[in-house]
């Protein structure tokens, strides 16, 4: 089946810097993408989503970029804070299989 992957298992950034978490997907038919944040001991929390008819979407301190040409998705976090430390997952909606497919996750560590 198709897979969704993240480029780096761990990303370490300084507090106050911007963070960029990347994700590559392989199913060109996927038309909906979601970023989730999972803190220790909790379930994944919805952050932001984007549909394939868009290439950028902004939320509060977060921006998702979608490049369909190279099948790449990224999550940008502005002014990273200690509370942003978590595992971040991307997920793609596979319309033919009718389900979300999740990547393995990137652990974001924020250094004070």
Site for another protein, rule CB under 8 A: 4, 32, 34, 36, 41-46, 49, 89, 93, 95, 98-105
* Complex with another protein: residue 15 or 97, whichever CB lies closer: 97
- Closest contact distance (angstroms) between CB of 98 and another protein is 6
The first and second tokens of residue 28, run together, are: 């060109």
Q: Which is nearer to another protein, 16 or 56 (CB)?
A: 56
Query: Which CB sits closer to another protein, 14 or 104?
Result: 104
> Across the strands, what pairs with 8?
none
User: From the CB of 31, what's the least distance to another protein, in Å?
Assistant: 9
CB of 99 to another protein, least distance (A): 6
Q: What share of the chain is helix, strand, coil (3-state, %, to 5)?
A: 5, 55, 40
Find all residues with CB under 8 Å of 48, minimum gap 6, and list them.
34, 35, 57, 59, 62, 64, 75
Residue 71 parent element (H or E): none
The smaller minimum CB distance to another protein, of residues 24 and 100, is found at 100
Rounded least distance, CB 65 to another protein, Å = 18
The answer to whether 16 touches 111, Cβ cutoff 8 Å, is no
């Amino acid at each position: 089946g198709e897979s969704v992957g993240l480029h780096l298992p761990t990303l370490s950034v300084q507090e106050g810097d911007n963070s960029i978490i990347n994700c590559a997907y392989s199913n060109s038919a996927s038309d909906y993408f979601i970023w989730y944040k999972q803190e220790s001991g909790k379930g994944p929390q919805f952050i932001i989503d984007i549909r394939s008819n868009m290439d950028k979407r902004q939320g509060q301190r977060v921006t998702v970029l979608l490049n369909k040409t190279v099948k790449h998705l990224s999550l940008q976090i502005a002014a990273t804070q200690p509370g942003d430390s978590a595992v971040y997952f991307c997920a793609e909606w596979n319309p033919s299989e009718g389900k979300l497919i999740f990547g393995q996750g990137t652990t974001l560590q924020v250094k004070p």
